Amino acid sequence: MVNAPNSVLFARTNYDTATQILSSQVAQPMIDYAHKRIYNIVILDRSTRHGLEGAILQHQPEICMFFTHGREDALAGQDQIFDLLSLTNALWMNGRIVYNCACLSGKELAPALIDNGARAAFAFTDVLTIMAYEKEGYPLVEGFKECLTKPQVIFDGKTVQEAWQETVDEYNKWIDYWDEKDPAIADVLRHDRDNFKLFGDGNARISFSWYVLIGSTEVVVYVWMALASILKIIKLYKWWKGG
């Protein structure tokens, strides 16, 4: 089946503090970012394998983003079973771009996704560590949200290679910031940066949304000229019909 242009799937779980943080402070800002760029958003809250596969059949997304716990060969669903995305259903990512915001899945799962036809995959090859403040809502320490959400630049028409590089650059910026203030936090970010990997075709990108297309002034002019012509045709047709 052909992937639907501009369709983006976000799959997240919410069964402990870590997944609550990923869901609300990483996934949600990325959902909002894509929504503002007029992409068709498919959200799977409390995701399970059955729900994921059903949503893929129905919506055929170009890109799938996962926010949950991971291990080397699989991602966990809301039922805490590591079968949301695994070696056994890796083929479901055929033709898609994938972002696994989860631990360890860069070791086995991400390469398996590519072997099964995924165009590209972002994943972490070791434990993904996030740091949050001990207060209501567990707000992330400065820099962590900014780095984990940075792959969202793919919604601006960037290739996955460009998105990966901008994410690494974002990590470097915050590492420099925390090296001066708290080197221990910088070391955590450095570890995450070094284990953030890109697999597959670096030139892969998703279809442009209308937001990206009309970002060019010249394109805006052409769009409005086309719309104006259509409106004139409609008016003339109504006049001819006596409307």
How far apart are the C-alpha atoms of 150 and 30, rounded to whole Å? 9
Q: What are phi and psi of 143, to 5 degrees?
A: 110, -35
Q: What is the per-residue pLDDT for 228?
A: 55
Angle (CA) 40-15-104 rounded to 5° is: 80
Q: For residues 201 and 169, what is the distance between their CA atoms, to the nearest angstrom?
A: 20
CA distance 38 to 199: 27
Using one digit for the tens of pLDDT, what is the confidence trace for 129-181? 999 999 988 999 999 999 999 999 999 999 999 999 999 999 999 999 999 99
Task: State residue 207's pLDDT score.
Answer: 84
Q: What is the rounded CA–CA span in Å between residue 207 and residue 200?
A: 17
Backbone torsions φ then ψ of 89, nearest 5 degrees: -125, 25
Q: What is the edge-to-edge ordering of all strands in the sheet holding 70-71?
A: 70-71, 74-75, 85-86
Residue 99 near residue 65 (C-beta atoms within 8 A):
yes
Within 10 Å of residue 114's Cβ, how many Cβ atoms?
17
**Confidence at residue 236, expressed as pLDDT on a 0 to 100 scale:** 47
Residue in this structure with the two tokens 């959200």, named with its chain if needed:
43
pLDDT of residue 34: 96
Q: What is the pLDDT of residue 1?
A: 47
Report the pLDDT value the prediction gives residue 216, as an integer from 0 to 100.
44
Which regions of the chain are under pLDDT 70?
Answer: 1-5, 209-243
* Per-residue pLDDT at 37: 92
